Amino acid sequence: MKQNLTPTRSHLYEHVARIGKALSSPKRLELIELLAQGELTVDVLAQRSGMDIRLTSAHLRALREARLVETRRDGKFIHYRLSGQDVAELWMNLRETAEEHLVELRVALEQMAMEPDALSSENRESLLEKARNGDIVVIDVRPGDEFDSGHLPHARSIPLGELEQRIADLPAGKKIVAYCRGPFCLMSDEAVRLLRARGFTAHKIKDGVAEWLKRGMPVER
């Protein structure tokens, strides 16, 4: 008797569920957010996510099996990257949906904010124009390799760990706007706190590079 190989509707749902399963781990979501900044090795991903290499590799394997990440080998190093910009957008859409429907998440985000008035009131177009004209200074406080992979136009790379030592590089009297990896990233909050303690007018934006790209804004590499 000839076997029927035509997929059933349940098979179709099962394929889609593979993506949901891959995204069901908080640490895998964090890895996707990190990879949305650019290509990174396992060692770097482990360090920045606070996991050991073995656990990081296991999570990356699950993401790769779901075709959400790809790899390339460079000598003895394996570099991971998202398989497409749509994966970064999937993460952002999931995050925004959670924020819309989960009051617990909104409360947690509010509690995490170090300065209630730290958020910049500038819209993206205004921020871009003022940065272009030199009216404000935009600083990227992510690690330098993430800046090199892609950054907001006219931004300066000053990683958070170097900010205190390089604070004299910033012009006095200019408004400083800091950004990092997106709404869940606290490095820009810490940068604003440090800058304000030193007498600067400083704010942050919630956008990271992935959010900037999603809205069709230009990014420099």
According to DSSP, the β-strands at 136-140 and 69-74 are unpaired
Map tokens 């699950």 to a residue.
Answer: 62
- What pLDDT score was predicted for residue 5? 64
Q: Is 97 within the bounds of a domain?
A: no
Task: Reduce the secondary structure of 78-141 to three states and give it as a string.
Answer: EEEEECCHHHHHHHHHHHHHHHHHCHHHHHHHHHHCCCCCCECCCCHHHHHHHHHHCCEEEEEC
Q: Residue 47 pLDDT more than 90?
A: yes
How many residues make up the chain in this entry?
221
Q: What is the pLDDT of residues 3-32, one digit of tens each?
A: 666 778 899 999 999 999 999 999 999 999
Q: Has residue 145 been placed in a domain?
A: yes
More confidently predicted of 4 and 112: 112
The pLDDT score that the predictor gives to residue 39 is 97
Predicted local distance difference test score (pLDDT) of residue 109: 86
Residue range 128-186, pLDDT digits in tens: 999 999 999 999 999 999 999 999 999 999 999 999 999 999 998 999 999 999 999 99
In a domain, 176, yes or no: yes
Q: Is the pLDDT of residue 221 over 90?
A: no
Q: Which residues contact residue 217 at a Cβ distance below 8 angstroms, ignoring those fewer than 6 apart?
A: 124, 128, 152
Q: Specify the pLDDT at position 119.
A: 79
Write the CA distances from 72 to 30, 42, 69, 78, 81, integer angstroms: 21, 12, 10, 6, 8
> For residue 109, is it within any domain?
no
In a domain, 3, yes or no: no
Question: What is the SS3 assignment for 59?
Answer: helix
* Active-site choice (32, 60, 180, 202): 180
> Are the CB atoms for 179 and 140 separated by under 8 Å?
yes
Q: 202 falls in which pLDDT band (50, 70, 90)?
A: very high
Domain assignment present for residue 105? The answer is no
Which band of pLDDT confidence, cut at 50, 70 and 90, is reported for residue 112?
confident
Which one has a higher pLDDT value, 117 or 162? 162
Q: Is 185 a catalytic residue?
A: no
Q: Is the pTM of this model over 0.85?
A: yes
Query: If pLDDT is split at 50, 70 and 90, which confidence band does 118 have?
Result: confident
**Beta-sheet strands, E only, within the chain:** 40-41, 69-74, 77-82, 136-140, 156-157, 175-179, 202-204
Q: What's the rounded Cα separation, in Å, for the pair 218 and 221? A: 10
Q: Could you give the number of structural domains in the chain?
A: 2
Report the CATH number that the domain containing residue 174 is assigned in CATH.
3.40.250.10
Q: Does 166 share its domain with 207?
A: yes
What local confidence, expressed as pLDDT, does residue 4 receive?
A: 61
* 51 phi and psi angles, rounded to 5 deg: -110, 165
Which domain-ending residue is among 84, 106, 131? 84
The last residue of a domain, from among 36, 64, 84: 84
Residue 143 resides in a domain: yes
Kindly report the CATH number assigned to the domain that includes residue 76.
1.10.10.10
**Domain carrying residue 60:** 9-84
Q: What is the pLDDT of residue 9?
A: 87
Q: Is 195 exposed, middle or buried (0-12, 13-18, 19+ CB in 10 A)?
A: buried
